[in-house]
Chain A
């Protein structure tokens, strides 16, 4: 069985080096719809892809991945909204884990909206 001891070691290592995330208004928010419609359409792998991708690329200090309920466009789920400070909200529809990786690379890192996947 994996024990909690390992977590203690992580805690020791992290101590003091956990940089506080930027003030909330400087953070880009990635919001994944996780109501029944989203989950049934496959939101969990999309959410996981964003969480893992953001960690992997080391942009966790600038990007926050969160969830929301149903926003009323169930047939376009999984829906992901990206809110960058000072910019208009971008809504991606019918997302998959693959598309999520692309959105991380192109939108979150390079700042280019992937318009193939947005709703217009």
Chain B
């Protein structure tokens, strides 16, 4: 069991990394009127066959060989469904995969969103060959981080140089705080 939604995101996004995606889009959309928290992870990786998609929510299915269980996707699904939410995974071989989890915002069993900024920071700085587009939306306020824009500015300076890494963290944290406006998810 994960303790934060953001840890599920970190884990499920690793699947996109392993699928050799070059672009991963992560969206967090909190809508207090609709009482929903939507998390989307879209990638352009290798995708899955229909058969694999039907198996991926089964904890006893995994492609790995180091152990016999694959809990990443089942955890995420369970976390969303426990809040009367929904979970959907769509995939096409050669095109990519879209994972959408919808949580009921005020449900007692909804785990906290957690530290999304750390999750995105880890994903961005550790996967140098993958571009990420992260959007964080609360009602009508929103911010976006597109690593392709960062790369354009930075040229050959990598993301893991301490100054750049710190800037990315600061960008994620301070913009999230502004968008949140004291609402806590």
Show the binding face of A for B, using Cβ within 8 Å.
Answer: 1-2, 4, 6-8, 10-11, 13-15, 18, 34-37, 39-40, 44, 47-48, 51, 55, 60, 66-67, 69-72, 74
How many angstroms between the C-alpha atoms of A10 and B157 in the bound complex?
Answer: 10
Stretch from B7-15, B20-28, B31-39, B83-91 that touches the partner: B7-15
Binding site for A on B (CB under 8 A): 1-3, 7, 10-11, 14, 18, 64, 66-67, 70-72, 75, 115, 118-119, 121-122, 125-126, 143, 149-150, 153-158, 160-167, 170-171, 174-175, 178
Given contacts A36-B72, A39-B10, A47-B122, contact A4 B153 (CB under 8 A): yes
**Complex CA distance for A60 and B161, rounded to whole angstroms:** 8
Most B CB contacts (10 A, CB to CB) among A7, A36, A40 go to A36
Known: A11-B155, A34-B10, A72-B67. A2 touches B118 (CB 8 A): no
Main secondary structure of the interface of B (DSSP, over half): helix
User: With A4-B150, A35-B14, A70-B64 given, is the CB distance from A60 to B163 under 8 Å?
Assistant: no
**Would you call B154 and A11 a contact (CB within 8 A)?**
yes
Contact A18–B11 (Cβ < 8 Å) = no
- Summarize A's interface: helix, strand, loop or mixed: helix
Cross-chain contact B10 with A1 (CB below 8 angstroms): no
Contact B7 A39 (CB under 8 A): yes
B57 to chain A, nearest CB (A): 14
Contacts of A15 in B (CB 8 A): 157
Q: Are A7 and B154 in contact (CB under 8 A)?
A: yes
Residues from chain A with a CB closer than 8 A to the CB of B71 are 36-37, 40
Q: A2-B171, A2-B174 are known contacts. Are A18 and B157 too (CB-CB below 8 A)?
A: yes
B144 vs chain A, min Cβ distance (A): 10
B147 → A minimal CB distance (Å)? 11
A-B contact count (CB 8 A): 95
Q: Is the CB of A44 within 8 A of B119?
A: yes
Closest A-B pairs by Cβ, 4 of them:
A55-B162, A72-B66, A36-B72, A39-B11
* Chain A residues in 8 Å Cβ range of B164: 7, 10, 14
Q: Given A1-B143, A2-B170, are A11 and B10 also a contact pair (CB < 8 Å)?
A: no
Query: How far does the alpha carbon of A2 sit from the alpha carbon of B7 in the complex, in Å?
Result: 25
B127 nearest CB across to chain A (Å): 9
Q: Is A67 within 8 A of B11, CB to CB?
A: no
How near does chain B come to A7, taking the closest CB pair, in angstroms?
Answer: 5
Interface centre among B122, B166, B174, by most chain A C-beta atoms within 10 angstroms, is B122
Residues of A within 8 A of B14 (CB): 34-35, 69
Query: Is B163's CB under 8 angstroms from A1's CB?
Result: no
Q: A10 touching B72 by the CB < 8 A rule?
A: no
Q: Report how far A39 CA is from B7 CA in the complex, Å.
A: 7
Query: Are A71 and B66 CB-contacts (below 8 A) given A6-B167, A11-B154, A66-B126?
Result: yes
Residue of A nearest to B115 (CB): A44
